[in-house]
Structure 1
Amino acid sequence: MTPLAAFVRADTVALADFAALCEQTVDPADYPHSNAVQRKVVIYHADTLRQALASDPTALKNELHHLFRHGPGVMVVRAAYSDPGVIDRHSRVLAAILAQEAQQGQAADHFAKAGANGRLWNSLQKTALHSPDSFIEYYANPLLGLIAESWLGPHFQITAQVNVVNPGGQAQQPHRDYHLGFQTVDEVERFPLPLQVMSQYLTLQGAIAHTDMPLETGPTLLLPFSQQYDLGYLAWRHEAFNDYFQQYAVQLALNKGDLLFFNPALFHAAGSNITADRQRMANLLQISSAFGKPMESLDRDRMMQALYPALLKRLQQDELDDQGLASVIATAADGYSFPTNLDSDPPLHGMAPKTGQQLMLQALTERWPYPVFEQQVSLMRSKRQA
């Protein structure tokens, strides 16, 4: 295959290259701590992992890291909680919070229509505040940290969101996840290819099953080895890749208390719940590398407000061209939608809320008076606060 340039367009994707990667097979010998391989998904039992964690964690972490990058990219841990009551008690906490929020309206979603399913944003903070005891016994499970550290190293940070798929809930479009999975194709094209590949090393996706998930309830569809395709963030919206996913994706039933973890670049999609009376509930873990942070703390909102009058004056006097304006905005304002509070700052018009850079450019383009801009910056700040 011809080496790719750093900046590539979406029309350079090649289904044949993608298919060649996805058609790889799994050698169980590569995963000596596993108990089985089912449909290219490596299956572990929690007791085996606990024993390895106590005796030789480095060998186990090497194995898991290989699985996420060079292997199929997805694993399941059976019976991850030795006390099943931990899941039941935390489910009751989640249900209580969901019931409270249901009275306040429907939550927006990234890949499903608002209101189609139950969605609890920031379940991590909300459960800590609602029931510290349940939070402690639930997140005290050492397997969560083991798996996260095997991919991300130490000092990672967890966020979590609960998804409840109701009877009749429809399948998602196959996709990749955070970071670049939430951006438009035009935005992804702006990132050099090595940065697109690097995106997968910044996060790990996980899910804790809070209900039994037989196939008819629609557990996640997965395409093993698809995370190895470097152009995947440009490819997943293509119809041909979607068709390939529908033909070759695999699906495993999960039991309450099982864990599912996968590389965020893996093509995946929640399945359809075709039952008449069974909900499917999972706590989705989005785990971030410690490296995804700047070196200094800046108050970019204050910077935007301080610079706005001078920028507006220069534009009105034709003293600043479009490129100069873009450079100043990129330097001063936050160009990324996350982290934010997805309850008050939802992705209503796409998969990512408006950024400070987008707000500032809109205000200057439309020549907003300063009080209007100041008010909108303050509103954005309040919406993003936890």
Structure 2
Amino acid sequence: MASLTNGQSKHDDTSSIGSRLFSVAKPPSLDEFKKLTTESKLVHYPLASSITANVPIYELPAYSSLSPQQHAALQDEWYHILLSGPGVFVTKGLYSNISLLDTVNEVYSNIIAEEKKLAGKRGDHFAGSGANDRIWNSFSKHCLQDPVSFLEYYSNPWLPLISSAWLGPHHRLTAQVNIVKPTAKAQISHRDYHIGFQDNKSCAMFPKALQVASQFLTLQGAVAHSDMPLESGPTRLLPFSQMFEEGYMAYRTPEFQNFFLEKYVSVPLDTGDGLFFNPALFHAAGQNDTTDILRSANLLQISSAFGKPMEMIDTYPLVQMTWDALVQVYEKNGLSDEVRAFVGNVAEGYPFPTNLDRRVPETAGMAPESEQELLIKGLENGWAKEQLLGELKKMKEDSRA
């Protein structure tokens, strides 16, 4: 093996290898992004009923009216759209029972009214706190409030067919309601979970391949719970932008956000329609320019089965057994590589899944504090074991459903 310490060897030249990371100091190429999003050509999708602003539109019939082969053919088209096509498609009539949606909207209204009675800050994603009405984990809250309509709503067989086209089997569905009020401003353009919820510095720590792979772990969807004419600000979309490899590094920069504002498209939706897109697609909730439309959507975030560890690890007892010794090492050596290595191995560095009602996200970072960040804070602030364990216990309790 070539020496790493005793001078330069013939194997030291890595210029042909390149960096595994994108550079914060070297901005992504806006020219390449413009070329990708303006010159990419839409292929023919024979099962789509129409194309609007490069977004394929599918008129869904009764699910049982199609054969397994026809279902598979739809999945093939949806997969191509999400991977190497425009990155987004619409499903007209995803929910054809409008009275069911009326019932569910009543459930949502009750949940929102109850939660407004509670004190405390209400968070949002990529928009100012309180600008919209937001229900975190509408999936669970819906069930607990009205199990009858919940059962009917989530028995829709189109949902797993669409989800498995991108994620395969065993995926997990979560949901959050977003109601955008009249005159509400647009979101900033962004990419979504996972890496889309990091700040730029954190994002840059993930290797290039993982930045591309992130999009394969999630599918974003939305069910329109109200009519969404263009003036109400349905989701702004930039077709083909999911294929830009540096997109997670790019979307926060003003140049890319300005280009998005110049080139985005939107598609009007009717109550019951679905919108599904690759999470790496540049997108943003639009500005509601109406005076009387509460633009309501149940946002679906469907996760791959593969984004999970093989075994369950409980951080609390491990920290309980090692904290005093870790403090001694920290007092002697500071926040050394060894201390960071231990914290990284014993504690969770990723704060999801969590409870976003009790652990309110901030617009800039999008993620609450992680176990690793808590341990480092405890070391830097000289916390005794009892204080650290109390904070760790509270974090765990606040993260529960």
Distance 1:173 1:50, change over 3 A: farther
Shift of 1:239: 1.0
- For the Cα contact (< 8 Å) 1:28–1:37, is it kept in 2? no
TM-superposition CA deviations, 1:307-354 (whole Å, max 9, x none): 2111002222x1576100000000000000100000001113731000
Q: 1:300 to 1:268 in 2, by over 3 A?
A: same
User: Which secondary structure does the structure 1 equivalent of 2:61 belong to?
Assistant: helix
User: Tell me, what secondary structure is at the counterpart of 1:56?
Assistant: helix
Partner of 2:49: 35
Letter in 2 for 1:82: S
Matches within 5 A, 1:1-386: 5-10=19-24, 11-27=26-42, 29=44, 31-47=45-61, 51-52=65-66, 54-105=68-119, 106-316=121-331, 318=332, 322-348=336-362, 350-386=365-401
Distance 1:219 1:161, change over 3 A: same
TM-score by length of 2: 0.92
CA, structure 1 residues 362+95, in 2 after alignment: closer, same or farther (shift >3 Å)?
Answer: same
Cα separation, 2, equivalents of 1:184 and 1:27: 32
Query: Residues of 2 paired with 1:87 and 1:98: CA distance?
Result: 16
Amino acid at match of 2:167: L
How far did 1:48 drift?
A: 7.7
Deviation at residue 52 of structure 1 after TM alignment: 4.3
| 1:101 Cα deviation after fit | 0.8
User: Which segments of 5 or more consecutive residues in structure 1 lack a partner in the other structure?
Assistant: none
Cα displacement (A) at 1:4: 6.2
Superposed displacement of residue 58, structure 1 = 2.4
Structure 1 residue 62: deviation in Å? 1.6
- How many percent identity over aligned positions? 43
Kindly tell me: are residues 361 and 96 of structure 1, through their superposed partners in 2, closer, same or farther at Cα, counting changes over 3 Å?
Answer: same
CA distance in 2, matches of 1:87, 1:364: 50
**AA matched with 2:144:** L
Deviations 1:209-259 (A, max 9, x none): 000011111111000000000000000011111111001000111110000
Distance verdict in 2 for CA 1:53–1:384, change over 3 Å: farther
Gaps of 5+ in 2: 1-15
Give the whole-Å Cα distance in 1 for the aligned partners of 2:100 and 2:267: 23
C-alpha distance in structure 2 between counterparts of 1:27 and 1:15, whole Å: 21
Amino acid in the other structure paired with 1:279: L
Instruction: Specify whether residues 319 and 13 from structure 1 end up closer, same or farther in structure 2 by C-alpha distance, changes over 3 A only.
Output: closer
**Separation in structure 2 between the aligned mates of residue 51 and residue 241 of structure 1, nearest angstrom:** 44
The answer as to whether partners of 2:316 and 2:389 remain within 8 angstroms in 1 is no
Cα contact 1:301–1:381 (8 A) shared by 2 = no
Tell me how large the CA RMSD over aligned residues is: 1.7
CA distance in structure 2 between the aligned counterparts of 1:26 and 1:271, rounded to whole angstroms: 25
Partner-residue secondary structure (3-state), 1:206: strand
Asked whether the 8 Å contact 1:110–1:350 carries over to 2, the reply is: no
Larger Rg: 2
Q: TM-score, normalised by structure 1?
A: 0.95
Q: What code does the residue aligned with 2:180 have?
A: V
> 2: CA distance between counterparts of 1:376 and 1:321?
20
SS of the residue corresponding to residue 367 of structure 1 reads coil
Contact 2:189 2:251 in 1 (8 A): yes
1:4 and 1:45 map into 2 onto residues whose CA distance is: 46
- Hey, what's the Cα distance between the residues in 2 that align with 1:240 and 1:319? 43
TM-aligned CA deviation for residue 301 of structure 1: 2.4
Q: Distance in 2 between matches of 1:142 and 1:25?
A: 33
- Deviation for aligned residue 1:99: 1.1
Q: Deviations over 1:57-98 (max 9, x none)?
A: 322212111110100000001111232212111111111111
Give the total of aligned pairs. Answer: 383
CA deviation after TM superposition for structure 1 residue 53, in Å: 5.4
